[in-house]
C-alpha cells in the first residue's frame, strides 16, 4: 500500500467519491462537518442511553428473579420493534439491531447486578 492509501482522509478536503443515486442529497460540505454532526449526535445518544439506563434500573424493582431480569421474550419484542422502526426511519436495520443486541446485553448484565443487591419488599419493610 502506498502512503496515500494508509493516511487518514483530509477532514477539510473535497469529497473523493459520490453516490450514483440521483436522489442522494449530501448533508455536509466536508468530512469535518460530518464529524461535528456525529459528535453532536453522540451527546444526544449518550443522554438517551443514560435515561434508558435509569428506566432499566427501575424495572429491576418489578422482577422476581434473574430469569425475569433477562426476559428473553421481551428482548425479542424490542429487537423486532427497533428493526421495524429502523426500516421506517431509513436507518440500516442490521446496524440498529446489532446496536440494540449489544446494548440490551449490557443493560441486562447491569440490571442483574442491581437486582442481586435488592431485597424483597416484605424484607425491606420489616
Mind listing the pLDDT tens digit for each residue in 3-45? Answer: 667 789 999 999 999 999 999 999 999 999 999 999 999 999 9
**Cβ-contact 121, 62 below 8 angstroms:** no
User: In Å, what is the CA distance from 92 to each residue of 28, 40, 77, 84, 88?
Assistant: 20, 20, 18, 10, 10
- Identify the CATH class of 27-125: mainly alpha
pLDDT tens per residue, range 51-67: 999 999 999 999 999 99
3-state SS, one letter per residue, for the chain: CCHHHHCCCCCCCCCCCCCCCCCCCCCCCCHHHHHHHHHHHHHHHHHHHHHHHHHHHHHHHHCCCHHHHHCHHHHHHHHHHHHHHHHHHCCCHHHHHHHHHHHHHHHHHHHHHHHHCCCCHHHHHC
pLDDT digits (tens, 9 = 90+) for 86-109: 999 999 999 999 999 999 999 999
Provide the phi-psi class of 100: left if phi over 0, else alpha when psi is between -120 and 50, else beta.
alpha
The reported pTM is 0.85
Q: How far apart are CA 75 and CA 6, in angstroms?
A: 41
Amino acid at each position: 500500500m502506498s502512503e496515500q492509501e494508509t493516511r487518514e482522509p483530509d477532514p477539510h478536503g473535497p469529497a473523493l467519491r459520490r453516490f450514483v443515486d440521483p436522489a442522494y442529497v449530501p448533508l455536509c460540505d466536508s468530512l469535518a462537518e460530518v464529524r461535528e454532526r456525529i459528535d453532536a449526535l453522540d451527546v444526544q445518544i449518550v443522554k438517551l442511553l443514560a435515561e434508558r439506563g435509569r428506566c432499566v434500573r427501575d424495572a429491576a424493582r418489578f422482577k422476581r428473579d434473574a430469569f425475569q431480569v433477562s426476559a428473553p421474550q421481551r428482548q425479542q419484542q424490542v429487537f423486532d420493534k427497533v428493526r421495524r422502526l429502523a426500516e421506517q426511519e431509513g436507518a440500516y436495520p442490521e446496524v440498529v439491531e446489532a446496536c440494540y443486541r449489544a446494548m440490551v446485553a449490557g443493560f441486562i448484565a447491569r440490571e442483574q447486578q442491581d437486582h442481586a443487591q435488592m431485597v424483597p419488599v416484605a424484607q425491606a419493610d420489616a
